[in-house]
Amino acid sequence: MNPLFANLQAYPFERLNTLLAGAESNPALPMIPLSLGEPKHAAAEFLLDQYANRESLTAALGTYPVTKGVPELRSAIAGFVSRRFGLQGVNPDTEVLPVNGTREALFAFAQVVLDPGKRSVTLMPNPFYQIYEGAAVLGGSTPYYVPCNESNRFSPDFSAIDEALWSQVSLVYLCTPGNPTGRVMSIEELTQLIELSDRHDFVIASDECYSEIWFDEPPVSILSACAAMGRHDFANCVAFNSLSKRSSLPGLRSGYVAGDARLIESFLLYRTYHGSAMPAHNQQLSASAWGDETHVEANRALYRQKFEAVLPILNNHFEVDWPDAGFYLWPRVDHVMRSAQPDEDFTLALLREQAVKVVPGSYLSRTGPDGTNPGYGRIRLALVAPVEECVAAAQRIATFAEAHL
Ligand SMILES: Cc1ncc(COP(=O)(O)O)c(C=O)c1O
């Protein structure tokens, strides 16, 4: 057995199931799950219609798909990335690659970057999407958790990293907009990191899968920062994105990686061996989805409606504001639950008393180098359920807080 497996940690939802095993959700109320970040809005009809064409579906199912993606999909992705992030003609042949959702791609990409013969460090935000940690661990690299907390407005604080540590860094994962904080990194913050990458020669893998769920200003990409610096080859930088959140299609398993052609070329080689080509009918549908904005605007409007309705209810008892982007809220709850494990205890009691399921913040983060866990005392709420359910959940959370304050 590969000894590195021993270093993989239980996934947050496994830990949540263990915490809640044996706990009875209040039987008088229908349970409302705000735990999983799984988009629930209906898929656009014009996209679903594509599967109704039996002839093209039959043809697609009868062929091995190409790992590099069909030209229509590559052009659609390159067109989206160029339009949306203000770039000068991203090359569809060399600078984009379709992937089966960002999760597998973020994980597999570490294999392209990490040198098995060299000790290395992989930086990631804390709290984080746990796939970054698993990718580093199985790549034989040591994860280093960069704090994102109130004092740095939830943006990764790289200032505490000294020269000795930078010299060991091979890979940096970013998550912008952040899960669970909703924080969007500014072009200045991204530019500073790219300058550090020039000095210390590491690769930046920017997870941007929430970039299309925004409220005031569309988030920038790591690729926008490259372009602002005049680096149209995106050296050492790649962005990951997906149709899961943008088009509310988490079951399609469709995304892209875009950026540095040298890294994309190696990733394509890796994927050819790995056998992770996107099925041809999904490639066709994905090309249409990347090319349309109307359904994305409708999707965004639904999220806006939820935040507008939920925030005033929660604000009576919690300090919680609009995120920059994404569909999560990340409130402190340790003023309501004053115990040694406030986020776990809050989660457990909320399910028992009010039949609302959330995720304890400390399950989404680690105790970092400064000795603190930025998720401690917080919970994550995913506003993915229909608006009436989100409102009902917010009212129950408010009632719960009143009873415990
Ligand atoms: C931060 C982050 N990255 C990546 C993913 C994976 O999404 P997908 O594989 O559906 O693109 C998720 C899913 O919830 C996520 O929260």
Co-location of 98 and 184 in the same domain: yes
Closest CA to 81 of 192, 202, 212: 212
Distance in Å, CA 174 to ligand 1 centroid = 13
Domain membership flag for residue 355: yes
103 CB under 6 A from ligand 1? yes
Co-location of 264 and 131 in the same domain: yes
Domain membership flag for residue 100: yes
95 CB under 6 A from ligand 1? no
**DSSP 8-state secondary structure symbol assigned to residue 41:** S
Pocket test for ligand 1, best of 242, 328, 363, 380 (most atoms within 8 A of CB): 242
* Strand runs labelled E in 236-362: 237-242, 255-259, 328-329, 356-357, 359-360
Domain boundary among 238, 271, 292: 292
Distance CA(374)–CA(366), nearest Å, equals 8
Co-location of 234 and 350 in the same domain: no
Domain membership flag for residue 51: no
Domains held by the chain: number: 2
Domain boundary among 261, 292, 323: 292
pLDDT at 89: 85
**Encoded tokens for 15:** 């830990």
**Encoded tokens for 337:** 């639950």
Going by their DSSP bridges, the two strands 203-207 and 255-259 should be labelled as unpaired
pLDDT at 242: 98
126 CB under 6 A from ligand 1? no
Give CB contacts under 8 A, 24+ apart, made by 40-45.
40/248, 40/384, 40/385, 40/386, 41/248, 41/299, 41/302, 42/248, 43/247, 43/248, 43/249, 44/247, 44/289, 44/292, 44/295, 44/298
Minimal-distance CA residue to ligand 1 atom 15: 129
Question: Using an 8 Å Cβ cutoff, are 190 and 303 in contact?
Answer: no
Please report, for the chain, how many H helices and E strands are present, in that order: 15, 12
Domain membership flag for residue 48: no
Co-location of 380 and 308 in the same domain: yes
244 CB under 6 A from ligand 1? yes
Co-location of 272 and 149 in the same domain: yes
Co-location of 288 and 305 in the same domain: no
What burial class does residue 327 get, using C-beta atoms within 10 Å of its C-beta: 0-12 exposed, 13-18 middle, 19+ buried? buried
37 CB under 6 A from ligand 1? yes
**Encoded tokens for 289:** 């989805």
- H-run or E-run covering 207: strand 203-207
Cα distances (Å, whole numbers) of residue 252 to 134, 291, 386: 23, 16, 21
Co-location of 201 and 248 in the same domain: yes
Q: Say how far residue 38 (Cα) sits from the centre of its chain.
A: 11
CATH of the domain at 18: 3.90.1150.10
Residue-level pLDDT, tens digit, the chain, 405 residues: 999 999 999 999 999 999 999 999 999 999 999 999 999 999 999 999 998 889 999 999 999 999 999 999 999 999 999 999 999 889 999 999 999 999 999 999 999 999 999 999 999 999 999 999 999 999 999 999 999 999 989 999 898 899 999 999 999 999 999 999 999 999 999 999 999 999 999 999 999 999 999 999 999 999 999 999 999 999 999 999 999 999 999 999 999 999 999 999 999 999 999 999 999 999 999 999 999 999 999 999 999 999 999 999 999 999 999 999 999 999 999 999 999 999 999 999 999 999 999 999 999 999 998 899 999 999 999 999 999 999 999 999 999 999 999
Domain membership flag for residue 50: no
Co-location of 249 and 375 in the same domain: no
Phi, psi of 380 (to 5 degrees): -110, 130
175 CB under 6 A from ligand 1? yes
Domain membership flag for residue 368: yes
Residues in the chain: 405
Minimal-distance CA residue to ligand 1 atom 2: 129
Co-location of 365 and 261 in the same domain: no
242 CB under 6 A from ligand 1? yes
Which atom of ligand 1 approaches the CA of 37 most closely?
14
CA angle, 292 then 107 then 140, to 5°: 160
Distance in Å, CA 194 to ligand 1 centroid = 23
Where residue 341 falls (left for φ over 0; alpha for ψ -120 to 50; beta otherwise) is beta
For helices 12-20 and 342-354, the axis angle rounded to 10 degrees is 60
130 CB under 6 A from ligand 1? no
Q: 3-class SS at 229?
A: coil
**Which residues constitute the domain of residue 99?**
65-292
Closest CA to 143 of 126, 160, 159, 122: 122
Co-location of 223 and 318 in the same domain: no
Domain boundary among 262, 292, 322: 292
- H-run or E-run covering 266: helix 261-274
**DSSP 8-state secondary structure symbol assigned to residue 290:** H
Please list, in sequence order, all residues whose beta carbon lies within 8 angstroms of the beta carbon of residue 76, skipping any fewer than 6 positions away: 286, 287, 288, 290, 291
181 CB under 6 A from ligand 1? no
CATH of the domain at 76: 3.40.640.10
207 CB under 6 A from ligand 1? yes
Cα distances (Å, whole numbers) of residue 142 to 113, 121, 270, 279: 14, 5, 22, 34
Please list, in sequence order, all residues whose beta carbon lies within 8 angstroms of the beta carbon of residue 52, skipping any fewer than 6 positions away: none
Q: 3-class SS at 203?
A: strand
Pocket test for ligand 1, best of 77, 103, 254 (most atoms within 8 A of CB): 103
250 CB under 6 A from ligand 1? yes
Distance in Å, CA 335 to ligand 1 centroid = 30
pLDDT at 160: 82
Distance in Å, CA 108 to ligand 1 centroid = 14
140 CB under 6 A from ligand 1? no
